[in-house]
Structure 1
Amino acid sequence: MLMSSRYAWIPQVIVLAVLIGTAGPYFDAAAEPTVTGSTLAANRLSFFTLCFYVPNSWAAAASDFYVYYPERTSRLKIFLLTATGLTLSFNLVYLIAIGLATGLTNNKDWTDANAVSTGALIVAAYDPLHGFGRFCSVVIALGVIANSTPSIYSAALGCQVLGRYGKAVPRWSWSCVLTLIALVLAMAGREHLLVIFQNFVALMGYWVMLMICIVGMEHALFRGRKGFDWTAWEDKSYLPVGYAAFASFILGWVGAILGMSQVWYIGPISEAASLADLGMWLGCGFALVTFPILRFIELKVVKR
């Protein structure tokens, strides 16, 4: 998996460069917003929020891969590798997506294709290249598989850390099971699953950001200065009980629900803010305020 991920990005970057070349002339960088005032500000904040927490989902899996680095690898090096990689990769795709979106207004073929799916829009953008364009579309589609491989790998590790029974099952078995589940879901829900995932990704973003806040504060405020005994990672008497983390996580979700603006629900605070999606910001705020207090109490009572 690590070897394939090392090189899988190269053909993706090449076909994305081709996409920029063939679709770029249809991008409309001078397109005017269709809304103004507070609604425009709310839409921009919602878009920025979405773009912000999608790459941050890497926080839930990064350690699964950095564990292969030498033990004394510089923290600064790890940070710079992560930040640079995420920034360059996501910003490239975001800018291409924005460009394609600006071209929808004046390109009927793109508009019709976008009504079908995002994939159809990409195929339409490659149309001027005819057969080679279709080949590039296939490479883009295969890139989805390549990007899913690390997720399956991390999910398999997640299944193993659920308990001693999960650990007893080989990692490759979990990977096969998870891949089979994904295949069945994709085949059964190919007509509707994309819309469901598009609506669900924001909720995943809330979860990831709450986790980042809680784990970050645990490290910075309570454990970072004392250091970690890595040999005790499986010792229940050493690990936190989790009451404070769970309680602040639930309270963070209260804030997220109050500020969310999704097809599932629009919170009262979001309604007052021109439907801006404030779920992530309020959720993180609730977690940041409550976790230190609850964790301090937990340490006093439970002693770990």
Structure 2
Amino acid sequence: MSSSDLEKNALDVSEKDVAVGYAEPAAAHDVSLYGRIQTFANSYAMEARGVERVPEDERTDTSLLRPGFFFFSINMVVTCLSTGALGPQVGLQFWDSLCVIVFFTALGTLPVAWFSLFGPKLGFRQMLLGRYWFGFYGAKIFTFLNLISCVGWSAISTIVGAQMLHTVAADHNVPPWAGVLMITIMAFVLTLFGYRVVHTYEKYSWLPTLIIMFVIIARLKMSGAFTTGTLATGTIEAGSVLTFGSVIFGGAAGWTTFATDYVVYQPKNTNLYKLFAVVFFSIYVPIVFVELIGLSCFMGTFTSERFAQGYNDNSMGGLLYAILVQDSLHGFGSFCLVILALSTVGGTCPNNYSFGLSIQALAGIFNKIPRIIWAIISSGLFIAVSIPAYYSFEEYMEDFMGIMGYWVTSYISIATIEHLLIRRGFGGYNFDDYNDPSKLPPGYSTLFAFLVGVGAMVVGMSQTWWTGPLATLAKGDIGFEITLGFSALAYVLARPLEYKYFGR
């Protein structure tokens, strides 16, 4: 076969492959652009595998420490400091904010641990697995939303790191965009090498961050600025709890749509109880720990004018600068801030990695573009969103994390009901069906349940740009709670009828 024939065969994906969203990888000696990129990836030990199912003979990662360290590390980041600091900003004090963090983080972590079990059992990435629950076309709704989530989460992580770099380098006139660019490039390079390198990086990156967290605790204690405030009661207090709870839930539950991506190389016979426990606690513990530190730091702004000024000038980066550098540790404090800033790379890598997988699951034509190219494109999007969002960070973070909680609850409720009610467990999945729309759910009940959930979200949400009538009555955000309930109810009513009529 001539080289021109090879190139033609590599680029001409059949209509059936495009329709079902899958195209075969390039041949070993492919001279097309696709083949050359894949060859380049292989030569530098980059992960060339795309969104396709991982076969059982390749699932050889038997260590549960790997996913444990991974999830622990991506949540042992300064982003959670900023999340914890939002409690007092919506009207809560220390003790009620603490209760919200402890309870709603557990609520948001449960679905992540639950969906992680599907990785070793089925071998599918999270977005491809969604085709069994939502149908081939219905899954595109959640895949598209997941792409937006990847960009949004990376922007949050990148901005927090950039705030700290900007604060430390303020005397050198380093602009915020420079910090955004530095963190994004570092995450991009790590992401290129895929699953194993990302896991290896996350295995160790949490340790310096944890040490610095204890340094922050010590310096905050020595400053004498910490205060618990006064515990309030009443309708307004309850509304603030709901609003802050929505943010905390969204922060933890946001990992749901990435869950299997990082355990998919675990063997099929993995102990699911142990995996569930490992994933749950490796997410729950660091989030609660770091968010409580962020909450405690912000409480210091009520008694220290220097802390308050630092936060007003440069958000969490300025507050930590006041705690660790000014009248404190000076040069060593600046070093700690730089290390904390770079820790956000760990929180950005998974979003970059999952973006490439999600875009390939969205449409068959995107499989003709190697995952390496998608890593470049996603990094560009992260930069484009991060720089303008930098200047209104608290508002951006609160709105984004709240909205995450809304749509993820629809995802959780529909997928869980389909798995338990229709699939009746892991035995109800035919591995060959994910490429065949005629053997997957039609998706009408998914669309119906999702739209019902959107309607519930609109009337129950409380954001800076919209407050629904039920949120007004509740004096707080109840969007994710009623979205979960109404999506589940709509799907339970519609899906059995759809299954009876279509037989799938």
TM-score (ref. length: structure 1): 0.93
Alignment pair present for 1:115 and 2:349: no
Calculate the aligned-residue CA RMSD, in Å. 1.7
Which residue of 251, 254, 257 corresponds with 2:452? 251
Alignment pair present for 1:279 and 2:479: yes
Separation (CA, whole Å) in 1 of partners of 2:221 and 2:368: 52
Which residue of 406, 424, 435 corresponds with 1:206? 406
Q: 1:49 to 1:184 in 2, by over 3 A?
A: closer
Alignment pair present for 1:238 and 2:435: no
Residues 250 and 401, structure 2, Cα contact 8 Å, conserved in 1? no
Q: 1:195 to 1:37 in 2, by over 3 A?
A: closer
Which residue of 220, 226, 238 corresponds with 1:28? 226
Report which stretch shifted further, 114-123 or 133-142.
114-123
Residues 24 and 99, structure 1, Cα contact 8 Å, conserved in 2? no
Alignment of 1:1-304 (within 5 A): 1-25=198-222, 26=224, 28-33=226-231, 36-116=233-313, 117-127=315-325, 128-192=328-392, 195-225=395-425, 226-273=427-474, 275-304=475-504
Residues 113 and 124, structure 1, Cα contact 8 Å, conserved in 2? yes
Q: 1:24 to 1:212 in 2, by over 3 A?
A: farther
Report which stretch shifted further, 132-141 or 37-46.
37-46
Q: Kindly, what percent of the aligned residue pairs are identical? A: 28
What letter corresponds to residue 254 of structure 2 in structure 1? S
Separation (CA, whole Å) in 2 of partners of 1:17 and 1:242: 49
Shift of 1:61: 0.1
Shift of 1:195: 3.4
What letter corresponds to residue 184 of structure 1 in structure 2? A
What letter corresponds to residue 80 of structure 1 in structure 2? A
Question: What are the Cα deviations for residues 232-288 of structure 1, in whole angstroms up to 9, with x where unaligned?
Answer: 322222222211112111111111111111112111111111x21100101111111
Residues 244 and 291, structure 1, Cα contact 8 Å, conserved in 2? yes
Residues 247 and 398, structure 2, Cα contact 8 Å, conserved in 1? no
Q: SS of 1:126's equivalent?
A: helix
Residues 46 and 277, structure 1, Cα contact 8 Å, conserved in 2? yes
Q: SS of 1:103's equivalent?
A: helix
Q: SS of 2:390's equivalent?
A: coil
Q: 1:264 to 1:188 in 2, by over 3 A?
A: closer
Separation (CA, whole Å) in 2 of partners of 1:197 and 1:98: 15
Separation (CA, whole Å) in 2 of partners of 1:232 and 1:21: 56
* Greater Cα radius of gyration, structure 1 or 2: 2
Residues 208 and 339, structure 2, Cα contact 8 Å, conserved in 1? yes
Residues 356 and 371, structure 2, Cα contact 8 Å, conserved in 1? yes
Residues 27 and 99, structure 1, Cα contact 8 Å, conserved in 2? no
What letter corresponds to residue 381 of structure 2 in structure 1? I
Residues 186 and 193, structure 1, Cα contact 8 Å, conserved in 2? no
What letter corresponds to residue 458 of structure 2 in structure 1? I
Q: 1:97 to 1:190 in 2, by over 3 A?
A: closer
Separation (CA, whole Å) in 2 of partners of 1:167 and 1:298: 31
Q: 1:196 to 1:46 in 2, by over 3 A?
A: closer
Shift of 1:52: 2.0
Separation (CA, whole Å) in 1 of partners of 2:406 and 2:333: 37
Report which stretch shifted further, 95-104 or 44-53.
44-53
What letter corresponds to residue 299 of structure 1 in structure 2? Y
Question: What are the Cα deviations for residues 5-55 of structure 1, in whole angstroms up to 9, with x where unaligned?
Answer: 22221221111121111123445353114x541111221232223212311
Shift of 1:138: 1.1
What letter corresponds to residue 130 of structure 1 in structure 2? H
- Is there any run of 5+ residues in structure 1 with no aligned partner, and where? none
Report which stretch shifted further, 226-235 or 38-47.
226-235
Separation (CA, whole Å) in 2 of partners of 1:190 and 1:42: 28
Separation (CA, whole Å) in 2 of partners of 1:47 and 1:183: 27
- Is there any run of 5+ residues in structure 2 with no aligned partner, and where? 1-197
Considering Cα pairs closer than 8 Å and 6+ residues apart, tell me whether 1 or 2 has the greater RCO: 2
Q: 1:162 to 1:217 in 2, by over 3 A?
A: same
Separation (CA, whole Å) in 1 of partners of 2:281 and 2:246: 19
